Amino acid sequence: MQRINLDGYQLIIFDKDGTLIDFHAMWGGWMRDVAARLEASCQLPISQLLFASFGYDSASRRVLPGAPLAMTPMATLRSMAGEALREAGCPPSRVESALHAAWHIPDPVATARPLADLGALFGELRARDMKIAVATTDDRTPTERTLAAFGVAAMVNTMICADDGVTPKPAPDMVLAICERLDVPPLRTVMIGDTVADMQMGRAAGSGLVIGVASGISPAEVLAPHADVILESVADLF
């Protein structure tokens, strides 16, 4: 197993879903539930159209690499669901009521499964005097609830979420905003995530080390051309 030398780095930025928590457990179940609710609300067979639009493979129950479901803010996903309803033949006058009846966010506590002992992981980083941040395309409220449920919220110095008004991945803006807040140069920053967009964000921001984890939606061979190091999961940092 490859060991990571974190000497000289002052900040580590984690993606959330697929990196810190099990992406498929949370978002796959949510995808199936939303599709079922929309079908019941509009009385149209919309599930497969919705799965294709969002990039969800119902046969394997996994989100596909690069899928909108993996890196699109909730507000945009809701708009995409509306487009799918219209494409399926739902009358325009009924689209909003169907969405209102069916749309919900995943329960960030009940459905979140950590991919490592986050308390131990974050504690080790803090013991090394490293700052910790989160950059996620999920919204702020569920992100805060998830970190609080795992007992690590107090160890996170800052976070940038999808509804914070910062240009999302793969643009460098999230990383650069975090570095500015914490007064850490990007070159002294580690970016770790499970998608190519995470890797591209770190690269574009000038992160000193970009780490891909194969615990999310992207296999190691997809991440490898974009990362300095590939790990099975964040549990392998130490």
- Spatial neighbors of 107 by CB under 8 A, at least 6 apart, are none
| Structure confidence at residue 162 (pLDDT) | 93
Structural domain spans, the chain: 11-22+112-237, 24-102
Q: What are 17's strand-pairing partners?
A: 21
Nearest CA among 128, 88, 156, 142 for reference residue 237: 128
Per-residue model confidence as pLDDT tens digits over 187-225: 999 999 999 999 999 999 999 999 999 999 899 999 999
* Per-residue pLDDT reduced to its tens digit, 68-90: 988 888 899 999 999 999 999 99
- Whole-number pLDDT of residue 196: 95
Q: Token pair 């070159």 is at which residue?
A: 187
CATH of domain 11-22+112-237: 3.40.50.1000
Instruction: Give the tokens for residue 103.
Output: 């749309």
- pLDDT at 1 exceeding the cut of 80: no
Do 18 and 233 form a contact (C-beta atoms < 8 A)? no
83: its two tokens: 């487009």
In the chain, alpha helices (H): 23-42, 47-54, 68-71, 74-88, 92-102, 118-127, 140-149, 173-182, 196-205, 220-223
Evaluate the CA torsion angle 89, 94, 100, 102 in order and state its sign: negative
Q: Which amino acid is at 53?
A: S
pTM as predicted: 0.85
pLDDT for 192 = 98
